[in-house]
Structure 1
Amino acid sequence: MPWRPMTPQDLPQVQAMADTIHVGHPEDYEVLAERQRLYPQGCFMLVEDGGPIGYALTHPWRFGAPPPLNERLGAIPADATTYYIHDVALMPAARGKGYALQAADRLIAHAREAGLGNVSLVAVNNSQAFWEKAGFRVATLPGLETKLSSYGPDAVLMVRDLARG
């Protein structure tokens, strides 16, 4: 599988890809680096022909309280109730090859192994349909509208309950 664990040495490439892929959702290097440092077992690089073409940043968190964009976490909460997918990002050359689904399957398996009951994310950039194909559904929670709007006009909180597979 072309996904491998992310290392601190990968972070300049992660930043370059993030700046290219998420023009409307910029994040500082320190934010990306902190996620990799806090939960390295949930951070992956997609490498093909020796070069990086994607990445994933994930970590346990509290369901219904997605972290604000471009802000440090501080710590992984001891009372985490969800496995949060912060970002699965693919360069254009990597799209349409099944890599995103590979990442989703790997992250879901990790969440199960970690004993978490669900996986959640904020879908942006018209990615909702992909995440629905991966078994996620929109979760509408009162009071999240303002936070979700900071992710963009199409942002929706999505969840996959692991008890149902």
Structure 2
Amino acid sequence: MNIAMHWRALTTLDLPAVEAIAAIVHPTFPEDTAVFAERQRLYPEGTRLLELDGKPSGYILSHPWRFAELPALNALLGVLPADADTYYLHDLALLPSARGTGAAAMIVGDMLRHARAAGFANVSLVAVNGSLPFWYKHGFRAEARPELADKLNSYEHAARFMVRRF
């Protein structure tokens, strides 16, 4: 059985689907719809929705940011910094039905190419929910940053700051 898999630009009409996916995938990291909407508005090039057989099944939110200055969970950014020096992967969420399809690797590759083409020397993220092996497979490495300990712990005790350098 073939599944039609497609990542497409995220629109404001997709925000209820993003909220529903986030509630299933990240129940311990709740974020308001306003956060999703702002990320989409501030940097639409970094937001995508995954459709499997036409059904919303995942999303990614990403944007330029300052290296090692992690945005707080469930917080509005206001504006993107003019001096952004990293491409930040804020959130990648896939429903269980989308896991194992290759969709995550596909969008990570797309975002890495986008970041490199935009001139960023690195891509950074906070790994949660036991995702360290996934990110490691895509060239990310955990970096010890004692100054980020409190912020990382606000996500979860096992949260790690990870970087992929070009």
Q: Same fold (TM over 0.5)?
A: yes
1:143 and 1:33 mapped to 2: Cα distance?
29
Residue 88 of structure 2 corresponds to: 84
Q: How many residues align?
A: 162
Deviation of 1:142 after TM superposition, in Å, equals 2.6
Q: Tell me, what secondary structure is at the counterpart of 1:154?
A: coil
Select which of 76, 81, 85 maps to 1:72: 76
2:70 and 2:55 mapped to 1: Cα distance?
31
2:145 and 2:157 mapped to 1: Cα distance?
16
1:111 and 1:16 mapped to 2: Cα distance?
28
Q: Is there any run of 5+ residues in structure 1 with no aligned partner, and where?
A: none
Residue 7 of structure 1 corresponds to: 11
Are 1:40 and 2:44 an aligned pair?
A: yes
Select which of 146, 150, 153 maps to 2:154: 150
The within-5 A match list for 1:120-139 is 120-139=124-143
Aligned alpha-carbon RMSD (Å): 0.8
Provide TM-score, normalisation by structure 2: 0.96
- 1:99-126 per-position Cα deviation (integer Å, ceiling 9, x unaligned): 1111110000000111111000000000
Percent identity of paired positions between Structure 1 and Structure 2: 54
2:12 and 2:116 mapped to 1: Cα distance?
25
Q: Tell me, what secondary structure is at the counterpart of 2:130?
A: coil
2:57 and 2:35 mapped to 1: Cα distance?
20
Q: Tell me, what secondary structure is at the counterpart of 1:76?
A: coil
- Runs (4+) off by over 3 Å: none
Q: Is there any run of 5+ residues in structure 2 with no aligned partner, and where?
A: none
